[in-house]
Amino acid sequence: MEVKAQRNDSIILDTKRKWYEKIPLFAYPSLYYTPETRWAIGLNALSSFKLHRQDSCRKSLIVAFFNYTQNQQFILQQTTQVFTHKEKFNLRLSTHLSHFPEYYYGIGDSTNASHRELVDYHILRIEARFLYQVTRFWFTGMQYRFVKQYQMHLKPNGLMESSQIAGYNGSTIAGLGLMLVHDSRDNIANAKRGMYVESIFLPTFPWLGSQYNYQNCRLDFRKFHNFTLTKANYSWVLAWQIYANWVFGKAPYKQLSELGGESLMRGYYRGRYRDKHLLAGQVEMRLPLVYDSQRIDWVGFATFVGVGNVWQRQIILPNFKTTYGVGLRIKFSPKDNLNFRIDYALSHEGGLFYIELGEAF
């Protein structure tokens, strides 16, 4: 679970005191549900601040959490994102440690759900970004990524052990690449208008300690439109996303493109389909609840549809998967415009529930 927040009020650091003595801290318990974890509880800590007085830049953010799930998984993660004066630089560091048993379905876009098997492993992930603002809303820079998957426990003579797919006995990858980012969203936690584009080219290198040598390209395009109905005195949001991921070369199975999850292609278990390349899109309408011509601010609902597929050599359009669903939104923080979302998504394999803090995208 990843929590993203952006506060509208300004908390400025007091220059007469050490910077770390004035960073505000907000801690709260968490409860969520996904098909991959079932029910999960945890403790979250959130801090947002500005480094410079009277600065118009977005607030820097520190998020840390520990979660324990009904599937006996644990997740420990922290993410620090810092905007310098006038957003000239955007720095981000994320560390993740987890024990996360999950189902493996095989490789390809036509795997049989009845062949799934539980794979138990630990994973350590470190990501660092350094971005420089070239013009308003546009950033370019570099990203470092390190992932170590270890302590693998497989089903004896099962699907993964018998196929000995790359990474079946653990893996270490390390890469350094280039990024181009555009971010004009009015609110990172729950955008009503604006655009977000993230493009990454990240090759891995043996001299960085990687056991595998491959190249990863990713494009994430999101657009948000706000429509106001003047006579009804309320507005609604149309959000859409196009996501593409390509892997060239030999990569461990966990670094291949994955279809499904709580953010993209809801209705499929994360990794239900897995292969080198992925193309997916989704559209979501976020609507307020109106009663007797009056908007009820603390609750709303959403409806969404998604389409996507994975492939290795050739895209086969008839094999594309579709999902659709509805959701309820309950306001968690009015200042941050942050919602609890309860989604029910359907695919050709049935329906799945999601209860999360924050929008899917």
Instruction: Give tens-digit pLDDT for 58-77.
Output: 778 888 999 999 999 999 99
| Mean pLDDT over each residue of the chain, to the nearest integer | 89
pLDDT band at 39 (very low <50, low <70, confident <90, very high): very high
Residue 104, helix vs strand vs coil: strand
Average pLDDT over residues 40-50: 88
**pLDDT at 189 (0 to 100):** 76
CATH of domain 19-357: 2.40.160.50
Q: Which two tokens stand for residue 119?
A: 């794979």
Distance CA 115, CA 106 (A): 8
* 61 or 152, higher pLDDT: 152
Distance CA 241, CA 288 (A): 21
**pLDDT at 53 (0 to 100):** 67
Inform me whether the pLDDT recorded for 14 exceeds 70.
no
**pLDDT at 152 (0 to 100):** 95
pLDDT band at 180 (very low <50, low <70, confident <90, very high): very high
**pLDDT at 85 (0 to 100):** 84
Q: What count of residues does the chain have? A: 361
Which parts of the chain fold into alpha helices (H)? 159-163
**pLDDT at 288 (0 to 100):** 87
pLDDT tens profile 309-332: 999 988 887 789 999 999 999 988
Of 183, 287, 270, 187, the closest CA to residue 234 belongs to 287
79 near 46, Cβ under 8 Å? no
pLDDT band at 16 (very low <50, low <70, confident <90, very high): low
256 near 275, Cβ under 8 Å? yes
SS3 per-residue string spanning 297-347: EEEEEEEEEEEEEEECCCCCHHHCEEEEEEEEEEEEECCCCEEEEEEEEEE
Residue 349, helix vs strand vs coil: coil
Distance CA 66, CA 29 (A): 10
Inform me whether the pLDDT recorded for 23 exceeds 80.
no
* 36-40, 50-54, 248-252: segment of lowest average pLDDT: 50-54
Which parts of 140-179 fold into alpha helices (H)? 159-163
Inform me whether the pLDDT recorded for 248 exceeds 60.
yes
Distance CA 233, CA 294 (A): 8
* Domain layout of the chain by residue ranges: 19-357
Inform me whether the pLDDT recorded for 129 exceeds 50.
yes
pLDDT tens profile 115-125: 999 999 999 99
Give every CB contact of residue 322 below 8 A, 6+ residues apart in sequence.
Answer: 305, 306, 307, 347, 348
82 near 8, Cβ under 8 Å? no
* 252-266, 288-302, 311-325: segment of lowest average pLDDT: 288-302
Above pLDDT 70, what percent of the chain? 90
Query: Where do the DSSP E strands lie in 136-233?
Result: 138-153, 171-183, 194-203, 214-229
- Please state the separation of Cα 338 from the chain's center in Å: 16
Distance CA 15, CA 192 (A): 34
Inform me whether the pLDDT recorded for 107 exceeds 50.
yes
Residue 253, helix vs strand vs coil: helix
Q: In one letter, which amino acid is 10?
A: S
267 to 23, 41, 146, 345, 357: CA distances (angstroms) = 39, 22, 29, 5, 18
Distance CA 347, CA 358 (A): 22
